[in-house]
Amino acid sequence: MAIKSHENSIGAWAFLIGVILAVLIGLSTTIIPNPTVIRYSGQIYGILVLLGLVIGFVNVPEKDSQTFLWAGTALVIVSKFGMDSVRGSLIGIMVGDAVSAVFAALLALFVPATIVSALKTVFSISKI
């Protein structure tokens, strides 16, 4: 039986919960419009931002920060451009709005995580 490290379990759970929540929120606002979710969307996106901050502070060890920054930056850029292009190219079949909403929720999660990780990296580099 393999021994698992528990040093990063809070960040890993925040990451997993955040990604699942982002996908569910994105889908629930478009495919199956839930009035409760739509009414509290500001608070729900706030939770995604808080989970993103937890991911940035806790989940990214210093040795993996460069990899996370590259992947996070690529995800943020592709999600932002994907929101606009998917919405415009899949008009009328409702898939574009759903994918765009999922991208928006993922942006709310990954932008704070990437910014915090970038700031941590900059501060670690500037240590004298």
pLDDT (tens digit, 9 = 90+) per residue, 38-68? 788 788 889 889 988 988 888 777 777 888 8
**Dist CA 44 CA 51 (whole Å):** 11
pTM given for the model? 0.79
Q: Which residues of 69-88 are buried (b: 16+ CB within 10 A; e: fewer)?
A: beebeebbeebeebbeebbe
Residues 6+ away with beta carbon under 8 Å from 41: 25, 29
The CA distance from 11 to 61, in Å, is 10
1 has a pLDDT exceeding 50: no
